[in-house]
Amino acid sequence: RKSLGAKRRDIRRQFVIEAGTTSAIGGLLGIGFGCLMATAIGALMGGMLVEAMGVSGITFNAAPTFGAIAVSFGVSVGIGVLFGYLPANKAAKLNPIDALRYD
């Protein structure tokens, strides 16, 4: 892109958008998988508690809160953007000839 006339900020922006999008998708998939696993393990633990204690009035609930989901999504996107910006900055500073040589 640099050899075609792209500016440094354009290259940085492309890398950061790609990293943010990828990490957001990964974060959403992780949140979905985590919610499924929490529900499954909660049901399994609840069944084990009822079986072990012999009392049917015991319930076990393992549901993630909105705050936990928001923090996990924010950390996922934040790490993705941070580690997307570092190579983006390096790529933006490359000489176009050097960039083409290794492409």
The predicted pLDDT at position 99 comes to 66
Q: What average pLDDT does range 26-45 have in this prediction? A: 90
Q: d(Cα 23, Cα 43) in Å, to the nearest integer?
A: 30
b/e map 11-47, b = 16+ CB within 10 Å: bbebbbeebbeebeeebeeebeeeeeeeeeeeeeeee
The predicted pLDDT at position 58 comes to 67
Residue 9 has pLDDT above 80, yes or no: yes
Average pLDDT over all residues of the chain:
83
Domain boundaries, the chain: 23-94
pLDDT in tens, 60-78: 777 888 999 999 999 999 9
Give the predicted TM-score (pTM) of the model: 0.73
